[in-house]
Amino acid sequence: MQQCQAIFENFDPATMTICCVPSFCHVGEPINLEKLTDVVKVICNNESCTEGEYMHKVCFDQWEYSVLTFLRSTGRARSWSEKQRLQNLWTKKGYDLAYKACGCKCSKGHLRKDLDWLPPTAPIETQIKKKRHRKKKNDKPSLSITGNTPAVKPGLTIGQQVPVNRIRSSSISSMSSTSGSPPNSASSDCPLSPSWGAKSIVPERKERHASGSIFCRRQDYSSFNSLPRNKINSYHIKIEDEGNQGNDEIRCFILSTLSANKTSGVNCIFCYNPMIIFDRYPLIDGTFFISPRHYSSSSISVKVDSQIQYLNAICMACLEGWNAVLQCKHCGQKWDGSDLILGTMYSYDVIAATPCCQDRLKCNSCQELVIPPDRLLNFSHYSRSIACPTCNAVDYHFIKPLTTYYIKSAC
């Protein structure tokens, strides 16, 4: 703690303390002990701990997300709803399951929220100002169409556009969803590709909003203006949180994972172009998906059902076929991601979910067919580990490396 104090100028140990969040501080400033209105008090069960007992509210929220992520895959908590996990987390019922993810920086104890501590209330004037500021921040950005893209009725946001007749079962944007039907491929005119910046460089965030989060606050939806008009709606672009009070499971999982890795941006696994991560839906100008395969250096390892998998991302330009196109080396067919919902995450490998030929169904060891070509499985089944009926090798046989595709630049 003394080493951390040295990095702050004018640090007064009598009136200040260091944020004791185990991962890293999102605010980057000491906590004023005389102004504890925006902090959370925690307790370490190591009586000789000297790491402090206060966290910035935003730091605690991000850390709590990571603990909740651990709790989701632990014991009887797997069957709890997200609301039940949140309610039980800091009580004996939930903490006995999650304490292993609550290690303190002292390395000798575990942290838990002090439920008996009540933060001092802020003056009435400060509360009014914060309420007004919060209301302004939560206003939804409006959509403005520019250039040659067909105009959308003015005054409407994306969520208010007239939806097209779209089969929702063609995509699964929930962590708990595990099945679906093969999508109907739809072709459209190729609009001009938007500007995507320099390759292989993760973009730095342009601003840090009031909450201190490392993720950007989306100001408008103009990055989606290049889409065909029939896709500018809440069916094709993830807009609203699904959980109570915005506590959506997918969003919490992604932001806590990226926050723990100190990552505010990712690269597309096809074209390596950078994408900024936003703190609200749509989270990205593309889509995330989880796969057992480590597709690129920007893929982030995550633990799902006690197994190590990888969080990958594909940009909107590659999903629509404007930037890079995947063409199978065996049959020559192109992979189509235009039916995937933008701004969210799929819990299975979206590339393997639609095998184009029987070579995609062969064993990775003996090269014999694992299932017959005429047998259709649900999307998520192609991402599962199964045994080959010929050689009994257990592997993710249907998830092939990108080297089995030609990655071509689109005109």
Cα maximum dimension of the chain: 73
273: which 2 tokens?
Answer: 């172009």
**pLDDT score of 147:** 40
pTM strictly above 0.85: no
Write down the H helix ranges in 73-219: 82-88, 92-98, 124-137
- 286-291 and 345-346 as β-strands: parallel, antiparallel, unpaired? parallel
Percent of the chain past pLDDT 90, that is, above it, reads: 29
Checking phi first, is residue 200 left (phi over 0); if not, alpha (psi -120 to 50) or beta? left
The one-letter amino acid at 268: C
pLDDT in tens, 58-86: 888 888 888 888 888 888 888 888 888 88
125: which 2 tokens?
Answer: 């004037």
**pLDDT score of 185:** 35
Name the DSSP class of 334.
B
- Buried b / exposed e over 371-404, threshold 16 CB at 10 Å, is beeeeeebbbbbbbebebeeeeeeebbbbbeeee
Q: Give the Cα separation of 196 and 273 in Å (integer).
A: 6
**pLDDT score of 10:** 65
Q: Give the Cα separation of 332 and 408 in Å (integer).
A: 12
pLDDT in tens, 332-369: 999 999 999 999 999 999 999 999 999 999 999 999 99
pLDDT in tens, 368-411: 999 998 887 788 899 999 999 999 999 999 999 989 999 888 65
